[in-house]
Structure formats: structure tokens, C-alpha cells
A = this chain, B = another copy of it.
Amino acid sequence: SAKFGLDVFRPHKVVRTVSECQDESFDYVLITLKALPEVYNVADIIAPVIKDEKTTIVLIQNGLGIEEPIVERFPNNPLISIVAYIGVSQHEPGKITMIGGESLVVGKYLKAQCSSDEQRSKFVEYLNKGGVDVQVVEDIEKVRWQKLFWNATFSPVCTLTGMNTTELLSNEEATKAVKDLMHEVIMIAGAEGYDYDEEQQVKTMLARTEETALNYKPSMQLDRENGRPMEIEVILGCPLKRAKARGLSVPRLEMTHSICSAANQHILNGKAKP
């Protein structure tokens, strides 16, 4: 990393399963797993160490709706929800190269049932001490939606066409697919109370990709290429569910979700060859 230098991170303790440390007590439990509700249940995984209401749960995960199952299961634990923009690659297990910057957007999950204000300030302090680029926002879901404008459009189109971002932007039909899909996602966000200007957002997302993410393959695409499960539900499934709950017509998102969801099942069934 240009910013953090060459370093080896040696964890204080490594366990195979969370149950192995259920006798300990934690101030914070950080979840940085891929968001794969199709594959595992994060609430189940962390349950052994969330014994009382003291432990703060910190989600550093992609997608939308990831907080819901946590709030439902642990309504009285403080929750911190973080959207991460980090430019790293793992070329071999445990060897991580940081190529871009890092930015953690820390926010409040407004639908949470208990306050996390104190725990959030303290956590942000820790991040600042570590020199991390931190942004604090009032409503994390607003940020999750905006990240989704990119992730629910560029990611599936790259994944399904095989193109990276540069190839996509130089192809008229692929760019059209991204734009058409993005209009639907922005419309859903609007119905949820996040009133983004459609034309402006589409322009911003395309321009930002040109500027900062050329020759880039989204993680969804890399996951598919490597035969790993993709984060379809939290990126496409959740916005689709919200659109349906409001009776919105989003045929492009629905089609894209069906196809990506089936492709994901194909991977989970072990039928897709990497």
C-alpha cells in the first residue's frame, strides 16, 4: 500500500468457529464477510458472541438490506453500518495489494431500534487513529443506494457480457443496458425517499467510472470467473423486493436479477466451471 506501506498483519487470535470464543466478551464485533444470504446467515454465525446488549455489531459489507436480519435478531445491540470503498486485490491467499484509496462511510441505520451514537463516535475515533479516511453520514442507507446505482448496473452488465468497465463504456449496447437499469434503480431509491436526480446520477456514475475505475472488473464478475458465489441478493434482490413491495414496475431489474440469480445457483450447484 502506498499509504500504509508494506506490512504483515498478525491477528491476536484466530479461531475456526465463533463458538470457540463464546466465553469471551467483546465491545465490537466486526463483520467483513461477503454478503451472501443465499449461502449463510450472518446472524447465526455471530450469535455465540452476542450474549448481552453491550456488544456493538459493525457491518462492513456491500449491498442493501444487510442490516435487517441483524436488527431483527439482535434488536437491543448497537449497530454500526459502514459502506467501504477500498481499492485492494488479493492475488494469492493472504497477500493483499492496495492499489486505490480507502474510504469508509460510517452512518446511522435509521431503522435500528436502539441508539449507537456513543459507540459510533468511539469507533470513528479508532478509525481516525489508524489514519483511515473516514466519512460520517447521518443516514447510511442513502449511501448504500448510491453505491447500488453503480453496483446493481455495472456489476451485472460486466458479469454477463464478460466486459471490464473500459470495454463496457466503449460499447453502445452495454452502456445502454447500464443506463436503462440505472434509471430503474434510481426510481426505486426515489420511492424510498432518496430523491436523486436521475439524469444527473447516471451522468455522475458514468463519468466517475471513466475517471477512477477503468479496466476494472467488479467483484461480482471476478467471483463468477472464479466459480465463487456472487452477492446477487443484496445487490439486485433487495432493491427488487423493495420495488415490488411498492408496486413499482422494474422489468429490467427483474430480468437481470432472475438471470444473475440463476447463474449464481449454477455456481452454488457446482455446475459452473471457473
Interface residues in chain A, defined as those with a beta carbon under 8 Å from any beta carbon in chain B? 157, 160-163, 167-168, 171, 173-174, 176-177, 180-181, 251-252, 254-259, 261-263, 265-266, 269, 271-272
* B261 and A173 form a contact (CB under 8 A): yes
- Having A161-B262, A163-B263, A177-B259, one finds 19 other A-B pairs with CB under 8 Å, namely A157-B259, A160-B259, A161-B263, A162-B263, A162-B271, A163-B262, A163-B266, A167-B271, A168-B262, A171-B262, A171-B265, A173-B257, A174-B258, A174-B265, A176-B258, A177-B258, A177-B262, A180-B255, A181-B255
**Which chain B residue has the least Cβ–Cβ distance from A262?**
B174
| Number of chain copies forming the complex | 2
Looking at the assembled complex, report how far the CB atom of A250 sits from the nearest CB atom of chain B, in whole angstroms: 9
Q: List 23 A-B contacts (CB under 8 A).
A: A160-B259, A160-B263, A161-B259, A161-B266, A162-B266, A162-B272, A163-B262, A163-B263, A163-B266, A163-B271, A167-B269, A173-B257, A173-B259, A174-B258, A174-B259, A174-B262, A174-B265, A177-B255, A177-B262, A180-B254, A180-B255, A252-B252, A252-B254
A157 surroundings in chain B (CB, below 8 A): 259, 262
A259 surroundings in chain B (CB, below 8 A): 157, 160-161, 173-174, 177
Q: How far is the CA of A162 from the CA of B261 in the complex (A)?
A: 12
* B173 and A265 form a contact (CB under 8 A): yes
A173 surroundings in chain B (CB, below 8 A): 257-259, 261-262, 265
Q: How far is the CA of A181 from the CA of B167 in the complex (A)?
A: 27
